[in-house]
Amino acid sequence: MAYEKIWVDNEKLNKTEVKKLKKDGLEVFKDIPYYAENGFESIPKEEWDSFKWAGLYLQRPKEDGYFMMRINVPSGVLSFEQAETLASICNDYGRGVFDVTTRQAIQFHWLQIENIPDIFNRLERVGLSTAGACGDITRNIVGNPLAGIDPNELFDTEPIVREIYEYFQHNKDFSNLPRKYKMSISTNVHNAANAEINCVSYTPAIKEIDGENVKGFHVKVGGGLSARPYLADTLDIFLRPDQVKEVAIAITKIFRDFGYREKRHLARLKFLLADWGPEKFKEKIIEYTGLLHSKGEEQQKDWNAGYFYGVHPQKQKGLNYIGFNVPVGRLHADEVHEIAIISNDYGNGEIRTCNSQNIIIPNIPDEKVESLLEEKIFERITIEPRKFMAYSVSCTGIEFCNLALVETKERMRRVAEYLDEQIALDVPVRLHMIGCPNSCGQRQIADIGLQGIKMKSKEKGLIEAFEIYVGGTLNNGGKFNEKLKGKVEGDYLQVVLREFLTYFREEKHPSELFFDFVERVGIEPLQGELDRILGNVTANVS
């Protein structure tokens, strides 16, 4: 029985909502074969945005007819067959550009409508899907990339992620949400799934129930970034593993039925939670599920930001997982093919993606580790990256994205390489670069966030520039970084960052992290230093 769209009579619905009432977003899957047969010109312009529900965006410029495709990878776990299929599709249709996203998904570019049905068929044969990778729907479910092999997890969450992911796949009861809807499920005690910035997160917890210590989850609701970022609130709820699906359905129903549909920029679940508060939200969940246990003991200890570099023992004796750096998340399809072959030869063929845009090869026997690391491909995709390259994250940027204001991906790579040549630090500094306020590169949680803008220049007209933000973290509940005044012209970003980080090196305590430094000295000295640097740069240019 179809659910009732209780918002149907709302006269203030935005245009997108009105359109969704007439045609469900998932209907685009039925339309694609016709468009593929008749070419890009057969797609009505008003239908371009509908392709999001199929994981497709038109890349810049839209009129050229090339698509970006996002493929879901729940928990970041890829089998050998899946990795091989992705590499072959990317080579055949995507010019070899293979990107790992900050939500463990995979992105292709340069796809044409004529090829989409074949791509869908090839993905389906190996159990992959693009449904819900974009659009007002449940997105790829982020999880622990070490699920099932992690010595630092309470229990394996991969089966739970898989069950819930498959429940929402192509489910028209939940394909018309007010906005995108992001979920994470992990019991890694180092917060590998970035719990605080998801709409809903299930985090590791233990509660004594009837004299038994039960391993399960706490529930965080209302996180999200973009132009108005929020950190998630923890509800007074404890869940056993077998209750997660029921609660996930309840929360999604609440968002669907009570979320805001008047203004697109105020429609995420975080705005509903902010208005209702955690207690009212919890009571609404209980209306759907019945009584739930109150909170237990939180098991989340700290935040590793999704980084797992090096060789580490798994919970399975004699086996290891190996964390590799993928510079700014970009691989070539041939590299993916080679890594899959190596993983299959030395282990079980799996590759796992991280929200740090990096990869893990699991299940490598002790005696094979050394030989694996001698493979030539691991000179670029290394377990020991240089410090700035190791902790640099970037969104897609103006190269492909219609929302971006500046070029990011290649620029972030060049900046990291430059800094690694110019300055040595005793601690990592996480640099995140984004091309617009939507923050796909998660600028708000970086040590140093770089947000692209357009800036007027007397000599050059409208140019690419950056704002600098400092002091973000998800440790201890999280704190978003703060904006420093001033705009940095893109051409001088490398020099400005070098000078800024030199100041950090000279003023910090031994082993002091950048976040702790910002907390200790405050924003004012950092602002003064940036002002001085920008003044010098301007003077030298003049």
Q: Which residues form the catalytic set? A: 70, 179-180, 435, 440-441
Contact 95, 139 (CB under 8 A): no
Q: How many CB atoms within 10 Å of residue 162?
A: 18
DSSP assignments along 451-490, one per residue = EEEEEEETTTEEEEEEEEEE--B-GGG-B--EEEEEEEEG
Peptide bond into 178 cis (omega under 30): no
How far is Cα 250 from Cα 56, in angstroms, rounded to an integer?
Answer: 28
Contact 270, 444 (CB under 8 A): no
**Contacts of 38 by beta carbon, 8 Å cutoff, 6+ apart:** none
Q: Which residue(s) pair with 77 in the sheet?
A: 352
Q: Which helix (H) or strand (E) holds 495?
A: helix 493-507
How far is Cα 23 from Cα 55, in angstroms, rounded to an integer?
Answer: 17
Sheet (strand 351-353) strand order: 77-78, 351-353, 359-365, 319-324, 310-313
Q: How many CB atoms within 10 Å of residue 480?
A: 21
Q: Which residue(s) pair with 111 in the sheet?
A: 67
HEC string of 130-188 equals: CCCCCCCCECCCEECCCCCCCCCECCCCHHHHHHHHHHHCCCCCCCCCCCCECEEECCE
Q: What secondary structure letter does DSSP report for 446?
A: S
Q: Which residue(s) pair with 488 in the sheet?
A: 466
Token pair for 63: 């009129």
Contact 414, 406 (CB under 8 A): no
Q: What secondary structure letter does DSSP report for 309?
A: B
Contact 467, 496 (CB under 8 A): no
Using a 10 angstrom Cβ sphere, with 0-12 exposed, 13-18 middle and 19 or more buried, the burial of residue 47 is: middle
Q: What secondary structure letter does DSSP report for 192?
A: T
Q: Which of 181, 189, 187 is nearest to 165 (CA)?
A: 181
Sheet (strand 482-489) strand order: 392-394, 431-434, 448-457, 461-470, 482-489
How far is Cα 372 from Cα 363, in angstroms, rounded to an integer?
Answer: 12
Q: Which helix (H) or strand (E) holds 362?
A: strand 359-365
Token pair for 392: 């640099």
